[in-house]
Amino acid sequence: MAAIAAAAASLSTLNLSRTSVILPRCHLRRAITSSLSSATTELGAKFAAPAPKPKSKSHKPSPREDSEPYIPWTVNDDESGAVTLKTTPSERFLRAVANESTQRKKKKEDRGSGGKDKPRVPTAEPKYSKAARRFYNERFREPPQRLAKVLAAAGVASRRSSEELIFQGKVTVNGSVCNTPQTRVDPAKDIIYVNGGRLAKKLPPKVYFALNKPKGYICSAGEKETKSALSLLDDFMKTWTKRNPGTPKPRLFTVGRLDVNTTGLIIVTNDGEFANQISHPSSNLSKEYIASISGAVSKRQLIAISEGAVVEGVHCTPDLVELLSRQPDIPRARLRIVVHEGRNHEVRELVKNAGLQMHSLKRVRIGAFRLPTDLGLGKHQELYAASLRALGWKT
């Protein structure tokens, strides 16, 4: 206030008035400033120095500051309470942090369980992942099948006999009598009873055999006094339970037939789809036979065989007829005859129609699969993927 009064007094000394002198604004400001500065010097007033500007974010530390190491941990470990600086946290600090994290997890579990400690039930890890089980179920697990087919595959009876059991009301599915053989069932899920006995949940696996059938055996179950070719696999069936515990025995049958006097290759399996595929005429599988002939074979008779004969009302023509060369240990003439229709007694009718007398007949090949030379009469050999493909199996 004193400075303002002094400035006013100096203005009055100038004898300024509104009417006499009019100064511009800039000159008036200079006059007031100069008067104020002179007044402050006269009064002995001192103003403080301006405050230093705050350092910007881009401030670079001095060499002295930059040379000092940065220590992130400040720990009060001493009993005296002194603060020490460390580059790593103390052991007590780490233990406290771990204890705090476990306590938080326990609190969350207690909140989720409503404050009650529930006993944990140990669960065994699945043998296969969920994706692997889904992959197997989509590609390899068999879909629901017809009831008659399931009964036949389980070894209850043949397909036709199984249908008769169903029609007679001797089969129940999930507690209800089923009279329809075409009903789709899954043995693993459905409860099936036949004559009061429950059907096994697990069907037997598919098996395939090549059998060298001897003379005097028929290719069916047959009667008690008749020898069946399937009885040649009794040793295999007796050891089935020991080799496959918990798995039901397969019901075996022959694919096609050889008459009682014909020897050689016959396929035995429990896979009905496989049997139907390779025995159906549409498969067009060739079958090779070796026929031993009593007496001499002329060229005219060979031509007569190659021209074919009527078998079961159908004219059948062989694919190949060839007279094999004589062997020193085999006195009789031998013919190699290849057919593809496979009708009943077809080869015998062809030889008979040519005026020849057959001594013996042996089948040595089906499709591209040939009877192994080391497989003796009455012996069998299990077949795998390569042999099944040679037989024309396309799955």
**Could you give the residue numbers annotated as active site?**
259
Q: Please, how many CA atoms are within 13 Å of residue 383, restricted to the half-sphere of its CB? A: 28
Q: What is the largest CA-CA distance in the chain?
A: 170
Spell 134-161 as b/e; 16+ CB within 10 A means b: eeeeeeeeeeeebbbbbbbbbbbbbeee
Rounded to an integer, what distance in angstroms lies between the CA atom of residue 268 and that of residue 347? 22
What SS3 state is found at 218? strand
Cβ 163 vs Cβ 148: under 8 Å? yes
Rounded to an integer, what distance in angstroms lies between the CA atom of residue 251 and that of residue 269? 8
Rounded to an integer, what distance in angstroms lies between the CA atom of residue 302 and that of residue 331? 19
| Torsion of the alpha carbons at 335, 336, 339 and 344, rounded to the nearest 10 | 50
Letter for the amino acid at 73? Answer: W
Instruction: Retrieve residue 137's tokens.
Output: 């179920």
Rounded to an integer, what distance in angstroms lies between the CA atom of residue 270 and that of residue 180? 23
Q: How far is CA 187 from the centre of its chain?
A: 21
| Torsion of the alpha carbons at 235, 237, 238 and 243, rounded to the nearest 10 | 110
